[in-house]
Amino acid sequence: MNKRFLVNQKLKNLMHTILILLMLAALLGGLGWTIAGTTGLLFALVLSVASYFLTPRVPAHLIMLASGARRVSPGSLPQLHGIAGTLSQRAGLTTLPRLYYHPSARLNAFAAGTPEDPAICVSRGLLSVLNLDEIAGVMGHEISHISNNDMKVMGFAALFGLLTQFASLAGQLLLLFSLPLILLSDVEISLVALALLIFAPALSTLLQFTLSRTREFDADLGSAFLTGNPLMLASALNKLEVYRQHGLKRFFRLAPDQGLVWLNTHPSTGERIRRLMNYMPGRSNKFGQEGYCYP
């Protein structure tokens, strides 16, 4: 993966992210204009900008504590700490992520916090199923989430969603209380405004799902670059999907990837693997030995 290709892909994902955030702001602004005209529009725009600074920051250790995970020392999982340290340095993180272990048999890993307060949790099930290369691919994905500050971005989008739901509810209540006056007068109700009041929360949720999928693709790209070998994460995703489908087939006839992708927070595994395979022709040589990310 050459540097120009990486920059182009990162720029594409960044522009997609900005576009979605602008659409969320426009949706909130449209609700503000529908409810209170120009004043409501200006208030919504100011609130949109302020939301970035008002997004709550939950300490990473509290998230891990709430999930039931426990922190592990370097002596407990030395290879995992070695992988995390190497990839974090490559990602430019000044603070190494604290590692947490969850006793669940579910195949899961997730990141929390910010680049200044990072943490990563891996489950017992994940460690028991994946080999070291595959674990490195997953760790690269989570570290990319941290270096991209994705938790902040998704929290910002979630706050937009809450504000949109509140504005939609307020507008519907205002319309309901004004209904007798509207029926007794010649005032016409705009169908577009009515549709916006009703469907804005659903549209906001769909935009948040789209944003989440974009950030997942970007974290996959980051993993491929940090490890130097897209096959590491691709192999992990393939193995996780096999286990997931095996469990779902007990209850459903359709495979998970046959569902409606736009209703999911994550892209389909097949599409993620396909994109990772497209990164193969120009594997990264920035870090010396290709694929080297642990002792």
pLDDT digits (tens, 9 = 90+) for 106-155: 999 999 999 999 999 999 999 999 999 999 999 999 999 999 999 999 99
pLDDT above 90 as % of the chain: 67
**Residue 258: per-residue pLDDT:** 52
Quick one: pLDDT at residue 177?
86
Dist. CA 52–CA 45, nearest whole Å: 12
Interatomic CA distance for residues 203 and 195, integer angstroms: 11
Which whole number is the average pLDDT over 229-236? 94
**What is the radius of gyration, based on Cα positions, of the chain?**
22
Residue 171's pLDDT is 92
Q: What is the mean pLDDT of residues 252-258?
A: 50
Predicted confidence (pLDDT) per residue in 151-202, tens digit: 999 999 999 999 999 999 999 998 888 888 777 777 777 888 899 999 999 9
Q: Judge whether 44 and 32 are in contact, CB under 8 Å.
A: yes
* Residue 277 vs residues 120, 211, 224, 232: alpha-carbon distances, Å: 26, 22, 10, 11
Could you tell me the pLDDT band of residue 8, with boundaries at 50, 70 and 90? confident
CA 89, CA 215: separation in Å to the nearest integer? 21
pLDDT band (50, 70, 90) for residue 293: very low
Strand order in the sheet with 117-123: 70-71, 98-102, 117-123, 109-114
Whether 171 contacts 31, CB under 8 Å: yes
- pTM summary value: 0.87
Task: Evaluate whether 236 touches 134 at the Cβ level (below 8 Å).
Answer: yes
Average pLDDT over residues 61-87: 94
Residue with the larger pLDDT of the pair 216 and 10: 216
**What are the tens digits of pLDDT across the range 17-73?**
999 999 999 999 999 999 989 999 999 989 888 887 777 788 999 999 999 999 999
Question: Mean pLDDT score of the chain, rounded to an integer?
Answer: 87
Residues with a known catalytic role: 142
